[in-house]
Structure 1
Amino acid sequence: MNPMQGFKLNTTAIRNAKAKAKPYRLSAGRGLVLLVHPNGSKYWQYRYRRRGKEHLISIGVWGTTRDFVSLDEAFAAREEIRAKIKHGIDPAEEKRAQKRVAAEREGKATTFEKVALQWLSVWGRGKSERTFKYQERRLQTDIFPLIGSMPIEMVGRKDVIEVVKHIDSRGAHEMASPKELPELLKKISGYQGLLTRYAMELMALTFVRTSELIQAKWSEFDFDNKRWVIPAERMKKAKGMQAAHIVPLATQTLMLLQQLKTISGASTFLFPGLDARKPISNNTILMALKNLGYKGRMTGHGFRSVASTVLHEQGFNHLYIERQLSHMERDEVAAAYNYAEYLEQRTAMMQWWADYLEEARK
């Protein structure tokens, strides 16, 4: 039986609604709900469906004084929203449009675009012109048309989510979701090109950058200490510096490398091309993923994104993940970069990741 059946929300019930460990909602009927936060605050929301998807629009904070929204006022707001939906007006889209109009009228407002361009000028110091232009183009194409004119203090979580949805809808999100990972791994296991298959599997296990994987040499691997040490000169340059990078080798990774050694062990490179003096092309993995049906859905870099997403969701320390991705923290200086930092924790994390992939493949 539904515990809310027969329950009638009134001012007394709202006032007596106690905070819990997690947010929960009380129904006031016909789509109107009261969201109760763990800190005790209570917010009116209206739940509706549009184009087959459920949406929530905020009405205001519950209260009985002039600055808050009472139960009767929430009922009135609900009926107003229902009338708009009946006439084909999406209240959430209307609200965003009103925000943009208000921002355009307020010429002196510090807009998101102004702040973003200030950030870009600082971020771009030391970057190549190509990298800078690429980032600038992403802002101009995907973000500014939607929220660029909004005052920075008015940009909320929902606005950011809309930007992400916009980018995702045009196929720019070239990363398989964790839910898609089992199917992807099974398809990789059945890939006909053995050398390319091993390259994709090693990419998944180590989530290094494509160029770091493709140009890998057998001399970089320390099998006794179960480490792959990528020399500084092969690492992506960041903040005017380059540093060596350690990749702890999980049990599954070591087994894969032993199998790979029977194929390319006589070569300098793990993945030699037709000319054994050179590695395979950087596009090899991208083309293989395309052949597997993942064009526009997954790239070599996508393995890094998936790993980061899963590891963060599983509660691994952000610093361990970022160091394993060979990312420098924003306030970190080159002289302080320690390529062996958190190595013990990263080793355990990489073994967990390999176990996770093995289980997902089953």
Structure 2
Amino acid sequence: MPKLVTPLNDTQIKKAKPKEKEYLLADGKGLALRVKPNGSKMWLFTYSKPYTKKRAQISFGMYPDVTLSDARTSRAEGRALLAKDIDPKEHKEAFANDKAAEAKNTFEAVVREWIALKEPKVSARYAFNLRRGFELHLFPYLGKVPVSKLSAQLTIETLKPLAAANKLDILGRICRRINEVMEFAINTGRVQSNNLSGISKAFGTATHKSMACVKPEELPKLISIVNNASIKLMTRCLFEWQLHTMVRPGEAVGTAWHEIDFENKQWNIPAKRMKKRKAHSVPLTPQAIVLLEYLKPISGHREFVFPADKDPRKHLSRETLGAALRRMGLKGKQTAHGLRALASTTLNELGFDADVIEAALAHVDKNKVRAAYNRTDYLERRRKMMCWWSEHIEEASRGNYSVTGNQHLKVI
């Protein structure tokens, strides 16, 4: 028959004095207060481990921080666990480990780890925008939340100001990136499932407009507007360079002299400067070569073909041409990026091979079989197509002050 123990009371505990050796004051059912010679008092729970039945002990904390009532509540919880064959000490350690993991795996910590993994695969500008979106719209509210505790409701509430400001395009990108982060968290063992997969459905969808560009038959008018506009010569040359080469604005302004292979009449853009992080070669037509030769005395001693005015060691801003077109009254009619669409539309209407056009635009084919097509063959076919395009531009520029239309060149 188990020994009967008279439960403790607060008065007994308060009056318990330290002795030469530590001793225990039993409260019953495994709970006792240990009094040490230095006067400290600690609650201990003694029990038999499930299955092995070995004696074990767990601390419930120091008195008076943990009161008698608190200690008895902990004892009841411990006995309830033992009834389910769960070791209270192991349970407590597992809980502490989970809390430590949560503190380490906050949403911000996981996002930054994901960005670090993604950064080498994207452009510096894209990586900056990636970080900026999280830092502005998410980290101030969700950054310290353990990724395992993120709820759809909390995340949606955090994103509502963007929806209210009608910034649906930004909102859509952020929702997609949040889901990429959650997939990363699943793959790295932080969470078991993505409970944020449907958050985008709580908001409207942005209406995307294609980059504005004039109709193919309006190319002569566009060239006339640009060549008669009051703009700097370097901006005029940039317009023609981008028009002839069909590259993106950022790729055009960053053209470096060391990227130009005059011998093979080719412009080799390194992967780090391309949107898809894949090197791209542009066949240079006679008109493009003429433009480069024209620019050599101006910027040939610099790193970049289109140096910036304030600091010639840098290149022009990617916004230079777009801003100039808007000042010409072409807002909503023609953008710098839309020059690619103008070229694509014209070439498609003329019946050029769509795959060759896509290759010229440096679009990555999602069809892996077609993507494995012999790129050397594409390069030669692109050279012929782009020679036609440059001749078409030259014909459209007759009577205007075109740099590449050198037969009619009037530098002003």
What is the TM-score with the length of structure 2 in the denominator? 0.45
The answer as to 2:224 corresponding to 1:186 is yes
1:138/1:281 CA distance change after superposition, 3 Å: farther
Q: Which of 231, 243, 246 is residue 270 of structure 2 equivalent to?
A: 231
5 Å-filtered alignment, 1:271-350, equals 271-273=306-308, 274-332=310-368, 336=372, 340-350=376-386
1:267/1:207 CA distance change after superposition, 3 Å: same
The answer as to 2:261 corresponding to 1:254 is no
Identity of aligned residues (%): 41
Whole-Å Cα distance in 2 between the matches of residues 313 and 139 of structure 1? Answer: 35
Q: Is the 8 A contact 2:211 2:337 kept in 1?
A: no
Structure 1 gaps of 5+ residues are: 1-119, 130-134, 144-166
Q: Which of 395, 404, 411 is residue 359 of structure 1 equivalent to?
A: 395
Larger Rg: 2
* 2:245 equivalent in structure 1: 206
* 2:255 equivalent in structure 1: 216
Task: Compute the displacement of 1:340 (Å).
Answer: 3.7
Task: Compute the displacement of 1:339 (Å).
Answer: 5.1
Whole-Å Cα distance in 2 between the matches of residues 138 and 319 of structure 1? Answer: 36
Q: Output the amino acid matched with 1:181.
A: L
Task: Compute the displacement of 1:313 (Å).
Answer: 0.6
Q: Output the amino acid matched with 1:320.
A: V
Whole-Å Cα distance in 2 between the matches of residues 279 and 195 of structure 1? Answer: 11
SS at match of 2:381: helix
Task: Compute the displacement of 1:319 (Å).
Answer: 0.8
Task: Compute the displacement of 1:343 (Å).
Answer: 1.1
5 Å-filtered alignment, 1:1-362, equals 140-142=205-207, 174-191=212-229, 192-237=231-276, 242-273=277-308, 274-332=310-368, 336=372, 340-362=376-398
Q: Is the 8 A contact 1:320 1:346 kept in 2?
A: yes
- Deviations along 1:308-327, one digit per CA (max 9) or x if unpaired, are 10101111001110011011
- Deviations along 1:265-291, one digit per CA (max 9) or x if unpaired, are 111001111211211111100111112
1:138/1:278 CA distance change after superposition, 3 Å: farther
Task: Compute the displacement of 1:128 (Å).
Answer: 8.3
Whole-Å Cα distance in 2 between the matches of residues 282 and 137 of structure 1? Answer: 35
Task: Compute the displacement of 1:335 (Å).
Answer: 8.5
Whole-Å Cα distance in 2 between the matches of residues 137 and 280 of structure 1? Answer: 41
SS at match of 1:233: helix
* 2:93 equivalent in structure 1: none
Whole-Å Cα distance in 1 between the matches of residues 348 and 294 of structure 2? Answer: 31
RMSD over aligned Cα atoms: 3.2
Q: Is the 8 A contact 1:272 1:279 kept in 2?
A: yes
Task: Compute the displacement of 1:142 (Å).
Answer: 3.3
Structure with the larger RCO, 1 or 2 (CA within 8 Å, 6+ apart): 1
Whole-Å Cα distance in 2 between the matches of residues 299 and 187 of structure 1? Answer: 13
Task: Compute the displacement of 1:190 (Å).
Answer: 2.9
Structure 2 gaps of 5+ residues are: 1-171, 182-199, 399-412
Whole-Å Cα distance in 1 between the matches of residues 212 and 343 of structure 2? Answer: 14
SS at match of 1:276: coil
Q: Is the 8 A contact 1:246 1:339 kept in 2?
A: no
SS at match of 2:368: coil
Task: Compute the displacement of 1:173 (Å).
Answer: 5.2
Whole-Å Cα distance in 2 between the matches of residues 254 and 194 of structure 1? Answer: 17
Task: Compute the displacement of 1:126 (Å).
Answer: 11
Q: Is the 8 A contact 2:211 2:335 kept in 1?
A: no
Q: Is the 8 A contact 2:325 2:331 kept in 1?
A: yes
Whole-Å Cα distance in 1 between the matches of residues 298 and 203 of structure 2? Answer: 42
Whole-Å Cα distance in 2 between the matches of residues 303 and 140 of structure 1? Answer: 27
- Deviations along 1:136-179, one digit per CA (max 9) or x if unpaired, are 99982438xxxxxxxxxxxxxxxxxxxxxxx6xxxx65111112
Q: Is the 8 A contact 2:307 2:314 kept in 1?
A: yes
Whole-Å Cα distance in 2 between the matches of residues 359 and 136 of structure 1? Answer: 50
